[in-house]
Structure 1
């Protein structure tokens, strides 16, 4: 069964049950009120007869008054009877009055106690003994504690039943009309709810077909569950769009990296192959063979470095590296880096400056610490020509603070946002530098700093230079090994 009909039946069922209960209660209440009103009227008639038709001193009955009253109430078919203390009918007195018209003993006992008796349905007419549904009210009249008379007022039940049937008929018509309105209302409510769900289904189908540029528009005055589901679905669409965009971007990075890696590998491999062929066929003069072998060694180192960077990145990314942290003098490690990079800086006409005290303690894995600072400093040299690269270190509050500042070409805001991404190159034109550019150096740096529980930040302005700021927590505050947050 479709959800529309399920919802419609649910709404209609609730309305139907509610209206049926209300109708039954209304009929019962109306019936009780009609019966009670009938008894109240009969009681009022007996009160009038008590005051006007019976002389308590002479025990005489004013039959003319009673007959006159019956004539007035003729249309209502109201009649009266009066019984004496012996349960004998004193009014009316005519030869045809049956002997069995006396009040039943169980009711007579109540009357003698001074209790009025109301009977909703008496099957025998007390006046003529015929079978007829009657409603009757008995009222005792006392004088000085002694029962004098019992006045009975009775009327056919047909009048009451007719009134009740009219009420039931009118209620039945109202019930039918209400059912029609309930059907229309339940259909509209069900259609509204199902329409909102169908809009979600349509968007779901579009997403399943690969279209993430859709919006879920479900308006509701009250934020109900369907509206909440639509909001969650919209958030999911936003995440899917972001993920899809990231997938496309990473795919472009991967393709670019594969092209760069293939190009960088092809160049040294071509060089090595050419030199080997020259040596094999004695095409290289004897005095140049040493230089050729040195060139092949350099190209081989270049290939090894490229492969090692990829292996390092994957090991770090999969948490396969275990840091061996210890406290050591960062200044000594930085001096070693200065010596290693001295020739590279000289080739670029750069000046290396170390700004650090003789002893600056740092808590880190020494080899990885050197790798981090070496990559950052080497990166600074590659993008600085005829400038200055300053490496500084100082103790901080529960941490060691370091910075690498250059006066190179700098970066734009967009480049700064992306430098930690794998395969990203801030300057694609520098693919074939002497020291190679895989696009993995800074990604590895970022992950290694994170693994130490430290922080790394970069500030740069185009054509004005760049500053990398790093912190390493001391032994008291450093985590054993911080979890890796994967770069994009």
Structure 2
């Protein structure tokens, strides 16, 4: 069954249920009100009859109960035109007026109530039909006691025919049936309109979903924040925005991957071509004897370059997929920094750069030794790569439960857009430097960023185009969670 018909059936069931419940309650309430009004009127008749037609006379300390028959006959004639009849009892089974009245069935319980001074109301279901002129008339009546000096002297029963009441109730029932039929028709129409409105909003989401499935992410659904469907539309918009951003990011990463593949192929082709040429020269004795040593050294250098390029890619993948295990310990970072500076001195000299140190005599750091070396080495090497005839300044200091290292260069610097992307895989701030000997893959800073996250540390960069760059690395002191995780 389609959602439209399900919604329509649900709305229709609610409407019809409300109409039926309201109709039943209305009939019951109206019936009670009619009977209560009738009983109130009958009590008024009984009080009038008692006050005008019943006389209590006291003589010789004895009280006698007498009736004014003329008044009773006149009252009987008047009330008979209104289908109202009355009977006067002095005892449960003794009728004193009218004399030919049919004995009514007053139960013991009802008489006990009367002796307590209570008025008894009887509906047609609880009262026998009164036979008059060979006809059975359904009556509702009241039994009201009258006392004098605490003694029960008389009980008057005043009853009215319920034919008029039933006629009115039947007319109301017919009116309610007509109203019910009208309500059913209106309910069907209203249910259809409400269901169609709800389903149209869902269909709008379906159409938008199909558009997104077809690759169109320029979809927007208005949300008025009225109900859960509007909230769903808002969440859908958020999802589409995320998918759109993800598509852009995937495209951007794919472009970088292609660029990297092209760069990597170029970087590998150059040393491989060099190595192949030298090997052929050695194989055919085309290289003079005095140049063979230099050729072998060149092949070793190119081979190391290829190994470094492959290792960087393998390293990045291992770090990204959490396949490496840290072995954190506390060691003197100053010794490590001095060793790195010594290793990179030759490269800095080739770039006409000067490395300056501002470090204490010793500074303990809590980190994985090999990965710490890798982080400092990559950033320092990156500074040398983008600085010519400048200065690289390395400083270290103690922070609050942490060790802080700064590496500042006076190189080309970076723009704001470049700063946003330096941690991205394959990204190169200066694409023109594809053929440099260092940082061939564009993975160095990506690896640094991943390693700092694994150390629960942080790396911050401040740079101005043409004025240089500063990297600040913060390693927290011994972290129990880092030990547990590893």
TM-score of Structure 1 vs Structure 2, range by shorter chain = 0.7 to 0.9
Is the CA contact (8 Å cut-off) linking 1:66 and 1:80 kept in structure 2? Answer: no
Cα distance in 2, alignment partners of residues 136 and 243 from structure 1: 84
Is the CA contact (8 Å cut-off) linking 2:113 and 2:120 kept in structure 1? Answer: yes
Is 2:479 the partner of 1:473?
A: no
Cα distance in 2, alignment partners of residues 130 and 123 from structure 1: 13
Aligned to 1:289: 292
Q: Which runs of 5+ in 2 are unaligned?
A: 58-63
Deviation at residue 22 of structure 1 after TM alignment:
2.3
Deviation at residue 59 of structure 1 after TM alignment:
6.1
Is the CA contact (8 Å cut-off) linking 1:409 and 1:464 kept in structure 2? Answer: yes
Aligned to 1:398: 401
Q: Which moved more, 1:102-111 or 1:402-411?
A: 102-111
Deviation at residue 124 of structure 1 after TM alignment:
4.3
Aligned to 1:347: 350
Q: Which runs of 5+ in 1 are unaligned?
A: 484-488
5 Å-filtered alignment, 1:196-275, equals: 196-221=201-226, 224-275=227-278
Q: Which moved more, 1:429-438 or 1:318-327?
A: 318-327
Aligned to 1:195: 200
Is the CA contact (8 Å cut-off) linking 1:56 and 1:148 kept in structure 2? Answer: no
Is the CA contact (8 Å cut-off) linking 1:451 and 1:482 kept in structure 2? Answer: no
Is the CA contact (8 Å cut-off) linking 1:400 and 1:474 kept in structure 2? Answer: yes
Residue 345 and residue 28 in structure 1: after superposition, are their counterparts in 2 closer, same or farther (change >3 A)?
A: same
Deviation at residue 367 of structure 1 after TM alignment:
3.0
Cα distance in 2, alignment partners of residues 101 and 111 from structure 1: 22
Residue 243 and residue 143 in structure 1: after superposition, are their counterparts in 2 closer, same or farther (change >3 A)?
A: closer
Q: Pick the aligned partner of 1:323 from 326, 329, 336.
A: 326
5 Å-filtered alignment, 1:290-309, equals: 290-309=293-312
Is the CA contact (8 Å cut-off) linking 1:34 and 1:164 kept in structure 2? Answer: no
Is the CA contact (8 Å cut-off) linking 1:323 and 1:481 kept in structure 2? Answer: no
Is the CA contact (8 Å cut-off) linking 1:453 and 1:478 kept in structure 2? Answer: no
Is the CA contact (8 Å cut-off) linking 2:383 and 2:411 kept in structure 1? Answer: yes
Residue 37 and residue 334 in structure 1: after superposition, are their counterparts in 2 closer, same or farther (change >3 A)?
A: closer
Residue 41 and residue 298 in structure 1: after superposition, are their counterparts in 2 closer, same or farther (change >3 A)?
A: same
Is the CA contact (8 Å cut-off) linking 2:92 and 2:111 kept in structure 1? Answer: no
Is the CA contact (8 Å cut-off) linking 1:123 and 1:132 kept in structure 2? Answer: no
Q: Per-residue displacement from partner, 1:100-136 (whole Å, max 9, x unpaired)?
A: 7234464795698466554433554355464332334
Q: Pick the aligned partner of 1:76 from 78, 82, 86.
A: 82
Deviation at residue 257 of structure 1 after TM alignment:
0.8
Deviation at residue 232 of structure 1 after TM alignment:
3.0
Aligned to 1:366: 369
Residue 476 and residue 131 in structure 1: after superposition, are their counterparts in 2 closer, same or farther (change >3 A)?
A: closer
Is 2:23 the partner of 1:20?
A: no
Q: What count of residue pairs does the alignment treat as equivalent? A: 476
Cα distance in 2, alignment partners of residues 242 and 92 from structure 1: 100
Q: What secondary structure, in the 3-state scheme, does the structure 1 residue paired with 2:285 have? A: coil
Deviation at residue 467 of structure 1 after TM alignment:
0.9
Aligned to 1:101: 102
Give the root-mean-square deviation of aligned CA atoms.
3.1
Cα distance in 2, alignment partners of residues 391 and 365 from structure 1: 20
5 Å-filtered alignment, 1:176-191, equals: 176-191=181-196
Cα distance in 1, alignment partners of residues 80 and 170 from structure 2: 22
Deviation at residue 260 of structure 1 after TM alignment:
0.6
Cα distance in 2, alignment partners of residues 395 and 358 from structure 1: 12
Cα distance in 1, alignment partners of residues 52 and 65 from structure 2: 12
Is the CA contact (8 Å cut-off) linking 1:451 and 1:481 kept in structure 2? Answer: no
Aligned to 2:338: 335
Aligned to 1:486: none
TM-score, L = length of structure 1: 0.87
Q: What secondary structure, in the 3-state scheme, does the structure 2 residue paired with 1:155 have? A: strand
Aligned to 1:423: 426
Cα distance in 2, alignment partners of residues 89 and 177 from structure 1: 53
Deviation at residue 353 of structure 1 after TM alignment:
1.4
Deviation at residue 430 of structure 1 after TM alignment:
0.3
Aligned to 2:60: none
Residue 349 and residue 83 in structure 1: after superposition, are their counterparts in 2 closer, same or farther (change >3 A)?
A: closer
Q: Per-residue displacement from partner, 1:196-253 (whole Å, max 9, x unpaired)?
A: 22222222222222223322323243xx333333333333323322222221111111
Deviation at residue 2 of structure 1 after TM alignment:
1.6
Is 2:175 the partner of 1:170?
A: yes
Residue 263 and residue 64 in structure 1: after superposition, are their counterparts in 2 closer, same or farther (change >3 A)?
A: same
